[in-house]
Amino acid sequence: MATEPKAKNIGGDSRIKAGLIWMNGQMVPQEEAKVSVLTHALHYGTSVFEGIRAYDTPKGPAIFRLPEHVERLFHSAKVLMMEIPFTPQEISQAIQQVVRENGYKSCYIRPLAWMGAHTLGVNPLPNNPAEVMVAAWEWGTYLGDEAVRKGARLITSSWARFPANVMPGKAKIGGNYVNSALARIEAQQQGADEALLLDKEGFVAEGSGENIFFFKGNTLYAIEHSVNLMGITRDSVIAIARDLGYEVRECRATRDQLYMADEVFMVGTAAEITPVSYLDHRAIGKGVAGEHTMRLRRAYLEAVQGQNLKYEAWLSYVN
């Protein structure tokens, strides 16, 4: 049996360098993009956000699945009954502008809308208009290059993914991410790269910010949506896998099913496709990055980098 290598600490301590930030309609230097300490969202987590990537393609930088991300931002706002004082088109243009004016070839983009500093009653309505910003910075592999090469080590978190009547898990709402942060901190304390969260019945939910897949032979299993965020990467990976000839099934799974899988991997805009080599100190397959997983990863990177024109409809070129 393979022995489990020791994980090194993940995440850096260097500050994000985001250059020019679009804030409420204007481009401002990062140092000037500030909010009040009495911001409602800072106290209660009443914000909505997106995580988007732009990639360097042969036709210049392109934003991956921009309309889907902007639509989800507005859907998240709707769940919170937050009115974003810009149209989806204006937000899309702001995102393009941030990539263009910072001169990025590739970057991670973070649009954020939050309840401002007009009231600190828990109910932000009706007098707390939302504020909006879009920042972007250069960000490599989310879990580190080593996690991609060797596979990430996961532990099952003692924090469960919240049930659908506790938090709206299909929305990227700031407050939801206390659950993710707790799981992620726990994983790091235990020397793991990332946490797997189960739902309240004990079935596999998702990572702190990634959807989960596994292979049994040539069949790819996608963990069904249930309480999870409906990832845009998950959707892209299912399409690409079918195009590569894999049979794809959506299922509910238990953690021991993952222990017995041939390959397990996580997907998300930040994590892209990251293989999982260990779960709860058990080797998945041979305890290395899986073959099919890496094939999918290559195909995914080709798609996002504009090297497979079959997927060009997913790209919004920055011009």
Ligand X SMILES: *Cc1c(COP(=O)(O)O)cnc(C)c1O
Query: What amino acid positions are annotated as catalytic residues?
Result: 172
**The only residue of 132, 222, 232, 279 in contact with ligand X, by rule CB under 6 A:** 232
Nearer to ligand X, 253 or 288 (CB): 253
Which residues from 155-184 bind ligand X, rule CB under 6 A? 172
Which range, of 81-89, 182-190, 212-220, 232-240, touches ligand X by CB under 6 A?
232-240
Residue 206 sits in the site that holds ligand X (CB under 6 A) = yes
Nearer to ligand X, 46 or 211 (CB): 211
Closest by alpha carbon to 263, among 231, 296, 304, 217? 217
Residue 53 sits in the site that holds ligand X (CB under 6 A) = no
φ, ψ of residue 272 in degrees (nearest 5): 55, -120
Beta-strand pair 247-251/219-223: parallel
Q: Which residues pair with 247 in a beta bridge?
A: 219
Contact 251, 205 (CB under 8 A): no
Q: How far apart are the C-alpha atoms of 10 and 13, rounded to whole Å?
A: 10
**The only residue of 61, 111, 116, 268 in contact with ligand X, by rule CB under 6 A:** 268
Q: How far apart are the C-alpha atoms of 11 and 188, rounded to whole Å?
A: 10
Which range, of 18-26, 230-238, 242-250, 273-281, touches ligand X by CB under 6 A?
230-238
Contact 106, 61 (CB under 8 A): yes
Taking the CA atoms of 112, 71, 75 and 206 in sequence, report the sign of the dihedral they define: negative
End-to-end CA distance of the chain: 52
Nearer to ligand X, 92 or 211 (CB): 211
Quote the least distance from Cβ 169 to ligand X, whole Å.
7
Contact 225, 231 (CB under 8 A): no
Nearer to ligand X, 25 or 88 (CB): 88
Quote the least distance from Cβ 309 to ligand X, whole Å.
22
**Which residue is listed with tokens 């911001």?**
39
Residue 209 sits in the site that holds ligand X (CB under 6 A) = yes
**The only residue of 231, 275, 285, 306 in contact with ligand X, by rule CB under 6 A:** 231
Binding site for ligand X (CB under 6 A): 51, 172, 206, 209-211, 229, 231-234, 268-269
